[in-house]
Amino acid sequence: MVNGYNISLKIGGKTIVGRTQDDLTIAAIVKESLDKDDQGTKRFTVTGHEVSFKVSAMMSVDGTAGTQKVNRDFLIDLALKKGLAAVVAVTYACENGDAYTGNAIMTNYSESSNATDDATLSADFKVTGAFTKVTTVETTADPPTSGTDVGEQVEPGTAEQTSQDPGEVTNP
C-alpha cells in the first residue's frame, strides 16, 4: 500500500508548497482499423500516449520555501509564459517505486477562495515529448515529515537514467 504523501510531482525539480493532491492520467492514443477479412470486426492499435497531471494545493506565497518548493507566484508566472519558455521539466515519483520524467506545459491554472476556508489552487499540465522511466537515487523507509520531499530523482540524460523504452508521447 502506498500512502498519498509518498507520491510527488516535481516541477523544475521542486514540489508545490501545500500540495493536497497530485493526479496522473495516461491515456492511450489508438488507431481504429477495419478489415474485410475479419467481417468488419474493429481492431485497435496503440499509437502513442497522452500524459497529463493535475495538482491541487493550499495557496501559499511563502518565500521561505526557496529552493525546495514552488509557490503561487511561480505557478502564475509559468501559466502566463508562451512558446518554449512555457516548457518545464516534470518528475513524477512514488517512494520505493519508479520515477518518470519529461517536459510539460501548464494548460490550466485556477484559484479558489471564500470567506471561511483556506484559499486553494490547482494547475493542470500536459507532457510534451517522451515521458521516461528513470531510476530513483534515494528513498526513505520512513514517511516524510511535513515539508520534506520524497527522495531525489535523477534528471533526464544523466548516467543514472535507465534504458527503458520511454514510450512515445503524442499530443494531437
Q: What is the pLDDT of residue 107?
A: 96
Report if residue 88 sits inside a domain.
Answer: yes
Would you say residue 145 lies in a domain?
no
Is the confidence at residue 124, as pLDDT, over 90? yes
In a domain, 126, yes or no: yes
Contact 137, 151 (CB under 8 A): yes
- Total domains in the fold of the chain: 1
The reply to whether 57 falls in a domain is: yes
Name the residue range of residue 56's domain.
4-134
CATH for 96 = 2.30.110
**Residue 13 counted as domain residue:** yes
pTM for this entry:
0.69
User: Could you tell me if residue 26 is inside a domain?
Assistant: yes
Q: Which residues pair with 139 in a beta bridge?
A: none
C-alpha cell at 39: 467481417
Q: Which of 11-15, 129-133, 149-153 has the lowest mean pLDDT?
A: 149-153
Within 10 Å of residue 64's Cβ, how many Cβ atoms? 9
Is 171 within the bounds of a domain? no
What's the mean pLDDT in 20-38? 89
Q: Cβ of 99: how many Cβ atoms within 10 Å?
A: 24
Which pLDDT value is given to residue 136? 53
